[in-house]
Copies of this chain bind each other. A is one copy, B any other.
Amino acid sequence: MGLHPAPTPPCGGDASVHLPDPFDARCPTRLLLDRIADKWTVLLLVVIMEGPVRFNALKRRIRGISQKVLSQTLKSLERDGFVTRRAFATVPVTVEYALTPLGRSLADTLGPLAQWATAHVAEIEAAQMAFDRRTAPDHAAEAPGMRRTA
């Protein structure tokens, strides 16, 4: 996940602005936002919030995620202190992921987002169709290149 060639001068370096503001800088806040505003992060946290889960259970639950990305994402969630990883020396090795208090706090913030998505899906689809109707039929065949300017 986000690793960053960030040519990043620390955010205090610039005189013009010095807010702990996520918009302006390469401040930690921004780096953090880059990481949590991620589709898999949101889904994972919300699922793990329901209780400790095992690797393959997660993979099955969140269809469409690949092992690689799942493992990467879990690793960074663990690093960030959002989840804990516990391995049990059972039969074929069991690994259980669970939320930390910090992770739970974040998940509580993320939950509303998922709910919002569920609630407003129809409106957005309508908007998309309206937009497409407005732009596409404009000139017959707009190639993928799509330059609508005259």
Are B32 and A41 in touch, CB under 8 angstroms?
no
Contact partner, A28, options B34, B78, B81, B125, Cβ 8 Å: B125
Among residues of B, the one whose C-beta sits closest to the C-beta of A121 is B28
Contact partner, A22, options B105, B118, B149, Cβ 8 Å: B118
Q: Tell whether A124 is near chain B: CB-to-CB under 8 Å.
A: yes
Are A106 and B121 in touch, CB under 8 angstroms?
no
**How far, in whole Å, are A147 and B30 apart by their CA atoms in the complex?**
29
| Number of A residues, CB within 8 Å of B | 61
Q: A39-B33, A81-B123 are in contact. Are A145 and B87 (CB under 8 A)?
A: yes
Q: Tell whether A139 is near chain B: CB-to-CB under 8 Å.
A: no
Query: What are 27 A-B interface contacts by the 8 Å CB criterion?
Result: A20-B121, A22-B117, A22-B118, A23-B46, A30-B64, A33-B42, A33-B113, A36-B113, A37-B37, A37-B38, A37-B39, A37-B41, A37-B113, A78-B131, A80-B124, A80-B127, A86-B147, A86-B148, A87-B146, A88-B146, A102-B124, A105-B116, A106-B116, A106-B120, A109-B113, A112-B112, A113-B113
Q: Which residues of A contact B (CB under 8 A)?
A: 20, 22-26, 28-30, 32-34, 36-39, 41-43, 46-47, 61-64, 78-81, 86-89, 102, 105-106, 109-110, 112-114, 116-118, 120-121, 123-128, 130-132, 145-150
